[in-house]
Chain A
Amino acid sequence: MNAPFREQQARQTLAVVDCDIHPAHRTPGELLPYLEPRWREHYQTYGVHVRQALSSTLMYPRMMAAGMRSDALPANGPAGSDLEMLRKQHLDPVNVEFGLLMALSKGGMEERNPEFAAAMSRATNDWQIDRWVREEPRLRAGIVVPQEFPEAAVAEIERCAADRRYVQIMLSSRPSDPLGHPRYWPIYAAAERAGLPIGLHPVGYNGGHPSTGSGWPTYYLQEHYVFVACMEALAASFILGGVFERFPGLKVVLVEGGFAWAPALAWRMDKHFDKFRKEVPHLKQLPSDYLRQHIWWTTQPIEEPEQARHLVEIIDWIGWDRLLYSSDYPHWDYDNPSFSFKFPMTEAQRRKIFRDNAMALYRLS
């Protein structure tokens, strides 16, 4: 009598590359088999030590069930932990050719114990391949590194980089120091050697800092928005710190931090560049030149101005070859490719944003 519950029918005809998919652990102990016995024992005895009082709690319900789409909860385990559901709800109906995993939970990015951070990163990277990429050839992993311990981060990059199933190096956009700081440079040298882009993604924790430069936000709306402020600060730090001068082959992708701010940041840095040049004599080009040459942006959550053409003007400035489609599956602010852009695009523009830019940047094939 009643048609059964059916998954979305309309199939995207254009294949897409999704640059932001979050895999989750089915059970809290899922990483244990991937840890050396010494660190397994440590994990079970002491747990993780991140810069937050209660490591496994979120500060807000985050809009939907713990920040997730309320329709993405599998029968067993949390949202994002079920590969079959990921296929049915996202990979198949929107025609994902490649999906890039962003493993946020309990990697070594925010762990304070240096050696444990390294062990958790290794475990997370092996887990991504074993549980996701091997099972689903459309998926690709990002190398999680203990980013506050650059020497160990370099070792992890070198351990993984030859395996082409890893397509980028993941860093949290909430680090202890701005990422242009020389203490992180060994990571960039390793990225350049490996030919892998750096993908910056916000994590729930804040590196010990309030998530804005002026204290803790009051509302979740504020917390969500300050992803943008973090990204701006980090982009400026990379550029003004001379990272791209030192590592001319380095490519940085800003994931989930918006992009409409990019022209304003560039104009502002350029405006005073002539006057301050003596302070940053290591820069050989205008700040905006570095921005345009070394930085890419993902689309989700995309700005939605009342007049869609305003966004088109911004993309015209940034360049149609610098934006990469991302969904953020299974998070509540998920963007479906058929609906995320509220303005018409030419066929060439669509191809770039939804597929070709990412195919080239991440050397996917």
Chain B
Amino acid sequence: MSRHVVCAADELPPGSRRTAFVDGREIALFNVDGRLHALLNRCPHGGARICSGIVTGIAQSSGPGDYRLERHGEFLRCPWHGWEFELATGQSWCDPRTTRLRNYEVRREAGGNLVKGPYVAERYPVVVENDYIVIDI
């Protein structure tokens, strides 16, 4: 596992998303109300780049006549066929048994902790006083 600095924290404010290439992979990053999520930017169903999917909740029902929209902001709906994935785990809501969207550890770290790391100095112009988004691959 290796640690990668993706961007400065203020480049991914709450409510925003972006993509980044890390280790040859395209990663979609989401900041939903301060919670950070990093997912491989390719839907396991039909290959869509899920970065343009809709962040949503999940409609639940215990039977006809009872409908609730729950867990708002915890799911990503693929921009093509609409499969839903749990942002925090990558778990598919349609087919949890066999389908899963690859997800990665992502967190915010202070620049001061990063400058000594092997990946930072060569590849990114790091300004030490800021916070950075870091992902583990």
A and B are interacting partners: yes
Name A's B-contacting residues (CB within 8 A). 1-3, 5-6, 8, 63-64, 69-72, 332-336, 338-340
Contact present for A70 and B52 (CB under 8 Å):
yes
Shortest Cβ distance from B22 into A: residue: A3
Question: What is the count of residue pairs linking A and B with beta-carbon distances less than 8 angstroms?
Answer: 60
Residues of B within 8 A of A70 (CB): 52-54, 79
Contact present for A1 and B82 (CB under 8 Å):
no
CA distance A199 to B21 in the complex (A): 42
Contact present for B53 and A2 (CB under 8 Å):
no
Residues of A within 8 A of B81 (CB): 332-334
Contact present for A63 and B82 (CB under 8 Å):
yes
Name B's A-contacting residues (CB within 8 A). 6-8, 11, 18-21, 26, 45-49, 51-54, 79-82, 124-125
Picked from A1, A332, A335, the residue with its CB within 8 Å of the CB of B8 is A1
Contact present for B18 and A71 (CB under 8 Å):
no
Contact present for A69 and B79 (CB under 8 Å):
yes
Would you give the shortest CB distance from B12 to chain A, in whole angstroms?
A: 9
Contact present for A5 and B19 (CB under 8 Å):
yes
Residues of A within 8 A of B46 (CB): 334-336, 339-340
Contact present for B80 and A69 (CB under 8 Å):
yes
Contact present for B52 and A71 (CB under 8 Å):
yes
Contact present for A339 and B45 (CB under 8 Å):
yes
Would you give the shortest CB distance from A72 to chain B, in whole angstroms?
A: 8
Picked from B7, B80, B82, the residue with its CB within 8 Å of the CB of A2 is B7
Residues of B within 8 A of A2 (CB): 6-7, 11, 18-20
Residues of A within 8 A of B21 (CB): 3, 6
CA distance A334 to B46 in the complex (A): 9
20 A-B contacts (beta carbon < 8 Å): A1-B7, A2-B7, A2-B11, A3-B26, A6-B21, A64-B80, A64-B82, A69-B79, A70-B54, A70-B79, A71-B48, A71-B52, A71-B53, A71-B79, A71-B80, A333-B80, A334-B81, A335-B46, A336-B48, A338-B47
